[in-house]
């Protein structure tokens, strides 16, 4: 079966080792890979993954240009790179058009690491530009193992944004909101948002996981692993073992992602 992993991370060779070490310390977890592009490609081959979407996060305005340049350089048949925008940077509203020109398919946001609120006014201008440029918006949602403060990107906030921008193409990571799955069921299930199922199984009851999938609509569920923080091969096994139909598995593993990415 074809497999698209909609949630992975990789870093340029000169920073991979340090980046992994810092995140490992902050989140008190252990990476399965060395954080390099080569490491990810090897893991994909080993797991039988055809395409990975790589999601970057800038944590300072000065990183934006370098990261986006690297992202645009690593595109291949196996890699779909997204870009990064730092919302309070001077030219952030112009970034969607710049990223579109660099052939980046979407933008990853992580409010806690990038210090903004998803529903602040400046973000609305950025969303409008992203929608106009047909870019996919990818959000970390819910708690984060590396963050101690209350999360800024929550199911409740995203439900308000979805209401304001019904045409927005948005993916909410970790099945709609890590460790806020009751709120996902209350605020988000049935909305137009896509959920990636990365870093979820093992953190909630499997009954609730299956209920969210069915009630939200299998056609809006994307396979994702959060590699290198999860093992791609093991995550495929986890989905293969779910009591859902072969058609549903195909939808989750690649068909929904193909639709969203226009592949
Ligand atoms: Zn991630």
Q: pLDDT tens digit string along 29-75? A: 999 999 999 999 999 999 999 999 999 999 999 999 999 999 999 99
d(CA 141, CA 152): 8
Q: 13 C-alpha to center of ligand 1: Å? A: 19
Q: Rounded to the nearest whole angstrom, what is the distance from the C-alpha of residue 141 to the centroid of ligand 1?
A: 10
pLDDT digits (tens, 9 = 90+) for 193-243: 999 999 999 999 999 999 999 999 999 999 999 999 999 999 999 999 999
Would you state the torsion angle of the CA atoms of residues 238, 240, 245, 251, taken in this order, to the nearest 10 degrees? 90
- Contact between 67 and 99 under an 8 Å Cβ cutoff? The reply is no
Peptide bond into 228 cis (omega under 30): yes
Containing structural domain, residue 242: 4-261
Cα(260)–Cα(220) distance, integer angstroms: 9
User: pLDDT at position 21, please?
Assistant: 96
Domain at 160, CATH number = 3.20.20.140
Ligand 1 centre and the CA of 228: distance in Å? 9
DSSP 218: G
Q: Count how many domains the chain has.
A: 1
Q: Which two tokens stand for residue 146?
A: 């590396």
**Residue 146, pLDDT above cutoff 90:** no
Cα of 164 to ligand 1 centre, how many Å? Answer: 26
Burial 52-91 (b: 16+ CB within 10 A, else e): bbbbbbbeebebbeebbebbeebeeeebbbbbbbbbebee
Q: Is the pLDDT of residue 163 over 90?
A: yes
Whole-number Å distance, alpha carbon 7 to ligand 1 midpoint, is 6
pTM of this prediction? 0.97
- Helix/strand/coil (H, E, C) string of 232-243? HHHHHHHHHCCC
Residue 142: phi and psi, rounded to 5, are 90, -165
Distance 139 CA to ligand 1 centre (A): 9
Gap from CA of 57 to ligand 1 centroid (Å): 9
CA of 113 to the centre of ligand 1 (A): 12
For ligand 1, the distance from its centroid to the CA atom of residue 246, given in whole angstroms, is 27
At residue 188 the predicted structure's pLDDT band, cuts being 50, 70 and 90, is very high
- Output the CA 222–ligand 1 centroid distance in Å: 14
Q: Specify the pLDDT at position 172.
A: 98
Q: In angstroms, what is the span from residue 162 Cα to ligand 1's centroid?
A: 21
Measured over the CA atoms of residue 96, residue 102, residue 108 and residue 110, the dihedral's sign is: negative
66-118 per-position pLDDT tens digit: 999 999 999 999 999 999 999 999 899 999 999 999 999 999 999 999 999 99
Sign of the dihedral through C-alpha 210, 192, 111, 44: positive
Beta strands 83-84 and 79-81 are unpaired
Share of the chain above pLDDT 90, in %: 97
What residues sit around ligand 1, an ion, with C-beta below 5 angstroms?
226
pLDDT at 145: 87
- For ligand 1, the distance from its centroid to the CA atom of residue 187, given in whole angstroms, is 22
């Amino acid at each position: 079966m074809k497999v698209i992993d909609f949630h992975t991370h990789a870093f340029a060779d000169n920073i991979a080792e340090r980046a992994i070490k810092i995140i490992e310390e902050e989140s008190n977890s252990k990476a399965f890979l060395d954080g390099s592009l080569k490491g990810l490609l090897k893991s994909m081959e080993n797991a039988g993954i055809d395409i990975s979407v790589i999601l970057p996060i800038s944590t300072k305005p000065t990183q934006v240009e370098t990261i986006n340049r690297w992202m645009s350089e690593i595109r291949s048949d196996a890699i779909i790179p997204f870009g990064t925008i730092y919302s309070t940077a001077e030219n952030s509203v112009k970034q969607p058009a710049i990223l579109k020109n660099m052939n980046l398919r979407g933008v990853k946001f992580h409010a806690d690491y990038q210090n903004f609120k998803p529903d602040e006014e400046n973000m609305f201008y950025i969303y409008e530009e992203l929608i106009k440029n047909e870019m996919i918006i990818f959000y970390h949602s819910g708690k984060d193992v590396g963050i101690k403060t209350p999360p800024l990107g929550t199911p409740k906030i995203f439900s308000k944004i979805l209401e304001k921008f019904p045409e927005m193409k948005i993916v909410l990571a970790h099945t709609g909101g890590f460790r806020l799955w009751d709120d996902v069921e209350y605020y988000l299930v049935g909305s137009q948002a896509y959920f990636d199922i990365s870093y979820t199984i093992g953190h909630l009851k499997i009954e609730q996981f299956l209920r969210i999938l069915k009630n939200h609509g299998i056609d809006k569920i994307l396979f994702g692993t959060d590699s290198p923080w999860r093992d791609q091969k093991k995550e495929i096994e986890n989905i293969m073992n779910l009591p859902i139909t072969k058609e549903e598995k195909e939808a989750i593993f690649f068909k929904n992602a193909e639709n969203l990415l226009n592949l």
